[in-house]
Homo-oligomer: A and B are copies of this chain.
Amino acid sequence: MDRLRVVFLGPLASFSHQAASESFGKKAADLLPHVSFADAFAAVQSQEADYAVIPCENSTNGSVVQTLDLLADRNDQYKDVKVCGEYYLTVHHCLLVHKGSYPSGWSGYDGQITKLYTHPQAWGQCENVLSKYFKGVERQDVSSTSKGAEIVSKEPTEKSAAIASRFAAEYHGVDVLKENIEDRADNTTRFLILRNVLAERTAKYDLEQPEAPTSQEKPVHEDTHKTLVSFSIDHSLPGALANALLIFKKHGLNLTSINTRPSLKRAWQYIFFVECGRTPSDENKDAVVKALTDLRDVTEYCRDLGTWKDQLGANAL
């Protein structure tokens, strides 16, 4: 088989790039940056790409609405795109400096840095270190953490530093002066891996989940499968949402997440996204199919958005 074509949300050396690299790194895969969420979905729908790796939720910030809006697929543009896997990436930030500018490392640091670069969101994630060691230091927002690392790689001075991942440091060839400077050690982003269900190339591919994470802190729950379903309900029927959720319970499917987005058909009506898990057994092998059949009776619209192996052992709702 030809090399896999895997798209991720750019730029190069972004957290999405890191997630794609860790998911597919051991396969023969070309990792291709795409500038927008919609481009990545379109590349999978057109089969220009085999897979897309897209952030869907962060443990601190919550759901990524751009991804939900594309999964909502209100205009039937991505009708063959389904989720086939997930990947959890713990977000670790490092303080990065120009290569060789601090030969004795952090122990030799004595207040030389006068300018810091990073994405606006990262400042708030590293407040402890910033307030302790970099009070009053000029902060320059950049479009991505990776961009900050790139700038530092091109400025041969010990006066500038960037906050970005070790992955970005290696990509741009800069030094890690101090690692794990984030306030919350458990800040994790979940990525969905998408494929086109009509694609023969990936249908023959023997793993629905391309590559399990190898980190010991993230055990692979091979025995649990997750399924994502979207639906809308008749808003004139009170209790319709409770009735829909009971169907999952009836078929032994444990809810693990629920999200809503505006329907955009009528104000204050919603598309629901429900994720559920099950441990496959002979008894429940048709549970998802049966639940979807029942759901069609109590929803206006209902769509199976894919089933994949749970990588975390998600909490029940």
Contacts and interface: CB of A to CB of B under 8 A. Distances in A.
Which of A242, A260, A312 counts the most B-chain CB atoms under 10 A from its CB?
Answer: A242
A201 interface: no
A58 B257 CA distance: 22
Contacts of A58: 262
A235 B268 contact: no
A223 interface: no
A310 to B, nearest CB: 11
A191 B65 CA distance: 20
Nearest to A239: B249
Contacts of A239: 249, 254-255, 316
A38 to B, nearest CB: 13
Interface string A40-68: 00000000000000000011111101000
Contacts of A241: 245, 255, 258, 317
B316 A235 contact: yes
Contacts of A261: 62
Contact of A316 (B63, B240, B256, B258): B240
A269 interface: yes
Interface in A239-277: 239-242, 245-246, 248-249, 254-262, 264, 266-270
Nearest to A236: B316
B268 A314 contact: yes
Contacts of A59: 262, 267-268
A233 interface: yes
Nearest to A252: B238
B260 A258 contact: yes
A254 B268 contact: no
A150 to B, nearest CB: 23
Contacts of A257: 260, 268, 270
A280 B217 CA distance: 52
A298 to B, nearest CB: 12
A242 B250 CA distance: 11
Contact of A260 (B235, B259, B268): B259
**Complex A-B, nearest 10 residue pairs according to Cβ-Cβ distance, in ascending order:** A235-B315, A59-B267, A238-B254, A241-B317, A242-B245, A238-B316, A239-B249, A242-B249, A242-B246, A62-B262
Given A59-B267, A257-B270, 15 more contacts: A61-B65, A62-B260, A63-B260, A233-B317, A235-B315, A239-B255, A239-B316, A240-B317, A242-B246, A242-B255, A246-B246, A256-B268, A268-B312, A268-B314, A268-B315
29 contacts: A58-B262, A59-B262, A59-B268, A60-B262, A61-B65, A62-B260, A62-B261, A235-B315, A235-B316, A235-B317, A236-B315, A236-B316, A237-B316, A238-B254, A239-B255, A239-B316, A240-B316, A242-B242, A242-B246, A242-B248, A242-B255, A256-B268, A257-B260, A257-B268, A258-B258, A258-B260, A259-B260, A268-B314, A269-B315
